[in-house]
Amino acid sequence: MLKLEARPEASKVMSVMSPVLALAVTVVIGTVLFVLLGKDPMRGLYVFFVEPVKSVYALTELAVKATPLILIALGLAVCFRSNVWNIGAEGQFIVGGIAAAGVAMTADKETGRWIVALVLLAGVFGGMVWAGIVAFLRDRFNANEILVSLMLVYVADQVLGYMVYGPWKDPAGFNFPQTITFLKSTSVPKLFPGFRVNIGLILALIAVAAFWVLLFRTYAGFQLQVGGLAPAAARYAGFSSRRALWTALLLSGGMAGLAGALEVAGPLGQLTPYVPAGYGFAAIIVAYVGRLHPVGIVFSAILMSMFYIGGELAQSRLGLPKSLTGVFQGLLLFTLLACDTLIHYRVRWQAARPAPPKPAAAALVSTAAAATTERAA
Amino acid sequence: MGSITQDSLRLELVNISKQYPAVKANDSVNLRVEPGEIHAVLGENGAGKSTMMKMIYGAVRPDEGEIRWNGQAVNIRNPQEARALGISMVFQHFSLFDTLTAAENVWLGLDKSLTLAEVAQRMTKVEQEYGLEVDPQRPVHTLSVGERQRVEIVRALMTKPKCLILDEPTSVLTPQAVDKLFVVLRKLASEGTSILYISHKLDEIRALCHNCTVLRGGKVTGTVDPRLETNAGLSRLMIGAEPPQLQHIQARLGDVVLAVRGLTLPKEDHFGMNLSDIRFEVRAGEILGIAGVSGNGQQELMAALSGEDTRAPASSIHLFGKDISNHSPRRRRKEGLHFVPEERLGRGAVPTLSLAANTLLTRTEAVASSGWVRTKDVTTLAQELIRRFNVKTGGPDAAAKSLSGGNLQKFIVGREIHADPKLLIVSQPTWGVDVGAAAQIRGELLGLRDKGCALLIVSEELDELFEICDRLVVIAQGKVSPSVATSQATIEMIGEWMSGLWNKTVAKETDHAEA
């Protein structure tokens, strides 16, 4: 009989190996999945894990997808470390995109390239406002930020729909729900001619360094994390929980808004109802698979983009449904959560024993009561 | 081996061992308890007392060895089976639902053959028999801690146990309530019930118990008759040495450092305690102790003094004559007020962070004005604390939760002492700390006093307060008594005050009230 036994202390090796192990398990389950779908598993895996990194163009496409994931996940990592559960990065991404589009559409033929900075700042601002609503409702009315931020995603989606179907609809666009194509001057500068990857990638890498410094080298970052790890200790130390709430939400909202602006003024070049591509939700997985660590997030974002691209390729090459992307993402998160158990526990083989001792119902009741009294005390 | 007495033993543990991942909690221990015997199990924290009791109660299973009940080898798989055999346990932390009545709580723990009314009736009967009066119909949250413990004991007695296990039962009681409890326990024993009495309080064990098994580091270091032993003798068995004697120099009083005047504060949550018109002063170079049964407003008072709760009315708390009632904990720290809370893990330290990172909670020497943390300085400070306060740990990178309670407490108290405070407030300085570490912490606190720091110490251990404090006040029902010099106070008097009855004494001795 397999038995889980608590480790005396968390395994350092496993905390690094757990994501690797999770990936391996995902691959195995993926193989089974391909077989069940009647496809050649080798070809399936090739499409998911080799094609996205096969050529320079493929690599740049990978970077295009990874950039927003990194930006959003960095902000979310700060949030989650501060015990603030912002689930609505997707909404902040959308509003960031809308705000950026608003600025981009003010450009005319004479506008210089400086407008790009304004476009991106507008995106940051838009995301901050959207996340600020969550912070305000939580701060003022103690509203649950998980629900509020999640519901605001759908509100943002409706706002986007209203804009592209209504006031911002391109008059020359054959009634399609989309804005005008933004002028060249507003588009985010590309890194290399001929490839879609733009300076957003550089911004993302700078952000990785900045967030690492914030989390591990500044007092502000320390305060945020203490608030998340042990709220009573933060109160004892005198770290403001209100400030932590606002900082975490504004920071993550701003990052999601920046990602939205980069997307709208970058690869998309106009506002359409299809701006939300699920980056905001995928970034939650990215943040966790990356251990809420800025450097880890880079790797997990690359992995997640491989799933995105692999999913698209699987659709065109193998005739598999695109939702396979979601299946792989979910698989990875689940296997990661399972593998994380090994950080705190080790598996031991043990001879089966008759009837494992079950805690008596009364004992259960009394532990529950003990927990309540302790909290009350 | 005593094969002759074997049959008459109520409970026997033979070569019991239990290995936990990091530690061998019980290493081939033996225990022999006769019917009607009050048997003490003495040991420091982490000596293996709790593990031993949990194995007897069926909550943990031994790896090796045998448990014999009335001479028969038994395999106790869970607490239900233990209760079926006639073993009951009263835990240190009460397991009662606050919103239910006493009778409902007792009913929950019993098999469901009885109606609630029958349970209440039988409770009353048990209560009368043993003088454990508690109204079965009262909701638990209206009961005092002593009354709650009575409910727990009544619950344990409802099943007519042949062996009753009590885990540190007196830590929440006034001295008078302790005497009452002892009367009950002696009566139970005289009727043939075996009692296992877990404690680290030597005086109590010597006053109550017939026999005493001493544990140290998971091993039995001796089984003695405590009535024939001295405290020093027992303590040698328990820690392998006698606790060092403390140096007590006459206090050199300085200016008033902390003045609390008319501090009234309504409770923040339902189960809290209202503070009402609290007033006292602490001077430089003295230690003021606050005695009291837990849950009488200590937590609320500490939060108001530390700044964790800034709702205190204006000009109710003064530090060096300056009103600090609404200052944040960080500001108070800058003004010289440092605080050690009673919860070490989760409040005094972040469990998952390293000791080095934990210094940053209250120490900002390593933080530049730009907000940059100089990690090297942080590590150096942690190393310095570990060295100076003799903290046993893997080093500055060890997570706070990897330390034993005593070592973490040394680290936290050390962190605040090292900050050179002008006023140090310590809540339960040696709670759950072993005797050696406790002596060291008390010594450090006295040393700080001799250097001219003002100290305010809250403790539930009267012995500790009498040992280190210059003056004492008592907190009861959210009110604080006038102060009395420790040299003029007696345990009996403070015990009486702990029930809130100080007006009588004070009226008589107004002259002595203010030292």
Q: Is the pLDDT of residue A332 over 80?
A: yes
Place of tokens 């005050």: B497
Taking chain B, what is the end-to-end CA distance rounded to the nearest angstrom? Answer: 60
Q: Is the pLDDT of residue A145 over 90?
A: yes
Burial class (CB in 10 A: 0-12, 13-18, 19+), B228: exposed
Token pair recorded at residue A42: 């080798």
Residue B293, helix vs strand vs coil: coil
- The answer to whether B89 and B60 have CB atoms below 8 angstroms apart is no
pLDDT at position A334 is 87
The chain-wide mean pLDDT, for chain A, equals 87
Burial class (CB in 10 A: 0-12, 13-18, 19+), B150: buried
Contacts of A147 (CB under 8 A, 6+ apart): none
CA–CA gap between residue A303 and residue A27 (Å, rounded) = 12
| C-alpha radius of gyration, chain B, whole number | 24
pLDDT at position B244 is 64
Alpha carbon A120 to its chain centroid, in Å, reads: 19
Buried/exposed code over B352-390 (b: 16+ C-beta within 10 A; e: otherwise): ebbbbbbbbbbbbebbeeeeebeeebbbbbbeebbeebe
Q: Is the pLDDT of residue A58 over 50?
A: yes
Number of Cα atoms under 13 Å in the Cβ half of residue A28? 7
Contacts of B101 (CB under 8 A, 6+ apart): B136, B137, B138, B139, B140
User: A-chain residues within 8 Å CB-CB of B87?
Assistant: none
Residue B232: which of B210, B206, B209, B207 has the closest Cα?
Answer: B206
- How much is the pTM? 0.78
**Chain B nearest-CA residue for A344:** B21
- CATH class of the domain comprising B248-336+423-441+454-515: alpha beta
pLDDT at position B481 is 95
Q: Does the CA dihedral B203-B205-B208-B210 come out positive or negative?
A: negative
Ordered per-residue pLDDT tens for chain B, 515 residues: 444 444 589 999 999 999 876 678 899 999 999 999 999 999 877 788 888 998 999 888 899 999 999 989 999 988 888 988 999 988 876 778 888 999 998 888 777 778 888 889 988 888 888 877 788 888 888 887 778 888 888 888 888 899 999 988 877 677 888 888 899 899 999 999 999 998 878 888 999 999 999 998 889 999 999 999 888 888 888 877 766 666 677 777 889 999 999 999 998 877 778 999 999 999 999 999 999 887 789 999 999 999 999 999 999 999 999 999 999 999 999 999 999 998 888 899 999 899 999 999 999 999 999 999 999 999 999 999 999 998 888 889 988 988 877 789 999 999 999 999 999 999 999 876 777 788 889 999 999 999 999 999 999 888 889 999 999 999 998 999 999 999 999 988 998 898 888 887 666 555 444 44
Quote the minimal CA–CA distance from A344 to chain B in Å: 12
| Domain locations in chain B as residue ranges | 5-239, 248-336+423-441+454-515, 344-420
CA–CA gap between residue A279 and residue A305 (Å, rounded) = 10
- The answer to whether B197 and B219 have CB atoms below 8 angstroms apart is no
| Domain locations in chain A as residue ranges | 66-292
User: B-chain residues within 8 Å CB-CB of A228?
Assistant: none
What is B61-86 written as a DSSP string?
--SEEEEEETTEEE---SHHHHHHHT
**Chain B nearest-CA residue for A224:** B361
pLDDT at position B507 is 61
Strand bridging mode B64-69 / B11-19: antiparallel
pLDDT at position A44 is 85
Buried/exposed code over A28-42 (b: 16+ C-beta within 10 A; e: otherwise): ebbeebbeeeebebe
User: A-chain residues within 8 Å CB-CB of B294?
Assistant: 377
B343 touches chain A (CB under 8 A): yes
CA–CA gap between residue A115 and residue A261 (Å, rounded) = 12
CA–CA gap between residue B400 and residue B377 (Å, rounded) = 18
Among A238, A359, A372, beta carbon nearest to B98: A372
Token pair recorded at residue A241: 């929980």
Token pair recorded at residue A104: 């981009």
Q: Taking CB atoms and an 8 Å limit, are B93 and A370 in contact across chains?
A: yes
A53 touches chain B (CB under 8 A): no
Chain A contacts in chain B segment 278-307 (CB below 8 A)? 294-295, 299, 306-307
Strands, DSSP E only, in B292-396? 317-319, 322-323, 337-340
Q: Is the pLDDT of residue A176 over 50?
A: yes
pLDDT at position A258 is 97
Domain B5-239 and domain B248-336+423-441+454-515, same fold? Reply is yes
Q: Is the pLDDT of residue A42 over 80?
A: yes
- The answer to whether A286 and A300 have CB atoms below 8 angstroms apart is yes
Contacts of B139 (CB under 8 A, 6+ apart): B98, B99, B100, B101, B102
Quote the minimal CA–CA distance from B286 to chain A in Å: 25
**Chain A nearest-CA residue for B398:** A9
Contacts of B72 (CB under 8 A, 6+ apart): none
User: A-chain residues within 8 Å CB-CB of B109?
Assistant: 362, 365-366
Q: Taking CB atoms and an 8 Å limit, are B109 and A218 in contact across chains?
A: no
Q: Taking CB atoms and an 8 Å limit, are A226 and B350 in contact across chains?
A: yes
Quote the minimal CA–CA distance from B403 to chain A in Å: 11
Phi, psi of B29 (to 5 degrees): -90, 150
A235 touches chain B (CB under 8 A): yes
Q: Taking CB atoms and an 8 Å limit, are B372 and A217 in contact across chains?
A: yes
**Mutation for A interface: B271, B347, B358, most A CBs within 10 A:** B347
CA–CA gap between residue A37 and residue A42 (Å, rounded) = 13
What is B145-210 written as a DSSP string?
HHHHHHHHHHHHHHT--SEEEEESTTTTS-HHHHHHHHHHHHHHHHTT-EEEEEES-HHHHHHH-S
User: A-chain residues within 8 Å CB-CB of B97?
Assistant: 369, 372
Among B329, B350, B351, beta carbon nearest to A238: B329
The DSSP bridge partners found for residue B212 are B40, B224
The DSSP bridge partners found for residue A259 are none
B330, containing H or E segment: helix B329-334
pLDDT tens-place string over residues A293-317 = 999 999 999 988 988 888 888 888 8
Q: Taking CB atoms and an 8 Å limit, are B22 and A369 in contact across chains?
A: no
The DSSP bridge partners found for residue B166 are B90, B197
The architecture in CATH of the region B5-239 reads: 3-Layer(aba) Sandwich (3.40)
Number of Cβ within 10 Å of residue A293's Cβ equals 18
CA–CA gap between residue A11 and residue A341 (Å, rounded) = 10
Q: Is the pLDDT of residue A319 over 50?
A: yes
Length of chain B: 515
**What is the interface size between A and B, counted as CB pairs within 8 Å?**
120
Q: Which parts of chain A fold into alpha helices (H)?
A: 12-36, 41-49, 56-81, 89-104, 115-141, 145-165, 200-217, 219-229, 231-237, 241-263, 279-289, 294-318, 324-344, 361-376
pLDDT at position A243 is 92
Q: What is the ipTM of this complex?
A: 0.78
What is A89-153 written as a DSSP string?
HHHHHHHHHHHHHHHHTT--TT--TTHHHHHHHHHHHHHHHHHHHHHHHHHHH---HHHHHHHHH
A370 touches chain B (CB under 8 A): yes
pLDDT at position B349 is 95
A55 touches chain B (CB under 8 A): no
Q: Does the CA dihedral B95-B96-B97-B98 come out positive or negative?
A: negative
